[in-house]
Amino acid sequence: MHNDAKRGNPAIPEAAREVHEALQVDLEWLRRQPGQATERVIQLSQEWIDTVCADTEARAGQAVQLSAQLSLHSDGTLLVRGSLTGEILAPCGRCLGDAGVDASDELCLTFLPAARIRDYLKNTPGDDPEGLELVASDLDEIFYEGNAVDLSNVVREQLLLALPMRVLCARGEACRGMCGRCGAMVNDMPADATTCSACKAPFMDEPEEHEQEIPAWKRKLMGLSDDP
């Protein structure tokens, strides 16, 4: 699933590039580090998060922090264990005001050298559908090429998956959103108002909620098929 991920995406703006670089793990460098595991703490800047969220309605709040422990085994397997902590902002489904979305999550990733899988498949005599299936089905393992592992794609996916389909601002269910007819902010009108103070339209029993369709990129990440 990840092995064909593009590297060195030219669309990364200059301000986000520093974080993108920090998310590249140089395995040669890692191999020279003493001890079993190397700790890495990376602040995912607002610019980087805004780049990640570019196709969504969300945007950066404060910086999200990635803390990870990297351990490289002699066979080239890289284990990344850690966590994301922080918040992203998404528009409230009713009033479109900022709603904080907790982006905190655990990270548990295994990267395998792609060459090893190719060798394995090559040395497996005959047609071995079981072997192939085994490789293809294990989505927890990510293949990498060469001497560097790019963490940016997996961290990006993790942040995007943290975005829920329905978000409400700090008012929660008490948010009365916007007038369905003229768009005036009902939250600013008297609490007992039954008609819009701007256009005089009567309010519905339930506040209007802005329905969000699951975008194609998210369906793909969630493993949902577009086929019925």
Tell me the closest approach of the beta carbon of residue 194 to Zn ion, in angstroms: 12
What angle, rounded to 10 degrees, do the helices at 114-122 and 129-137 form? 160
DSSP 124: S
Helix, strand, or coil (residue 209): coil
Residue 20 or 94 with smaller CB distance to Zn ion: 94
Nearer to Zn ion, 27 or 99 (CB): 99
What tokens were used for 153?
């794609």
Sheet containing 59-60: give its strands across: 59-60, 87-91, 98-102
The smaller minimum CB distance to Zn ion, of residues 140 and 173, is found at 173
Structure tokens at 54: 């570019």
d(CA 65, CA 68): 10
Give the span between the Cα atoms of 183 and 205, in whole angstroms. 16
CB of 53 to Zn ion, least distance (A): 19
Q: Which is nearer to Zn ion, 15 or 199 (CB)?
A: 199
Nearest distance in Å: CB 102, Zn ion: 17
**Cα angle: 194, vertex 200, 202; to 5 degrees:** 40
Closest contact distance (angstroms) between CB of 70 and Zn ion is: 40
The distance of closest approach from Cβ of residue 92 to Zn ion in the complex, given in angstroms and rounded to an integer, is: 3
Which DSSP helix (H) or strand (E) runs through 81?
Answer: strand 78-85
Q: Which is nearer to Zn ion, 92 or 109 (CB)?
A: 92
Residue among 94 and 218 whose Cβ is closer to Zn ion: 94
CB of 161 to Zn ion, least distance (A): 23
Cα distances (Å, whole numbers) of residue 122 to 102, 119, 127, 134, 138: 44, 5, 10, 15, 19
Residues within the interface to Zn ion (CB under 5 A): 92, 94-95, 97, 169, 175, 179, 181-182, 184, 196, 198-199, 201
DSSP state of 173: G
State in angstroms the smallest separation of the CB of 90 from Zn ion. 11
64 close to 42: Cβ distance less than 8 angstroms = no
Taking the least distance from each CB to Zn ion, the nearer of 9 and 195 is 195
